[in-house]
Amino acid sequence: MGMRIVADYDTCEGLGMCEAMASDYFELDDDEQMHILNEHPDEADRAHVNAAVQACPVLALRLEG
């Protein structure tokens, strides 16, 4: 099944670091609500996605698997 991006939307403050790091996986809408564009990254993107997950200042993101 591979890895999965998990977000805690209650913790997310819409700061946008994830989008800045990986706009192909994370997007903030006009209300600063964050949306995950693809919950299941390819293995080849692990380091790229993990860097974005680690960049979240409030630890609202994690990578499972």
17 binds ligand SF4 (CB under 6 A): yes
5 binds ligand SF4 per the rule CB under 6 A: no
Which amino acid, 50?
N
**Cα–Cα dist 47/28, whole Å:** 21
Site string (20-59) toward ligand SF4, x via CB under 6 A: ------x-------x---------------------x-x-
Q: What residue type is assigned to position 3 of the chain?
A: M
Number of residues assigned to the chain: 65
Residues lying near ligand SF4 in the complex (CB under 6 A):
7, 12-18, 26, 34, 56, 58, 60-61
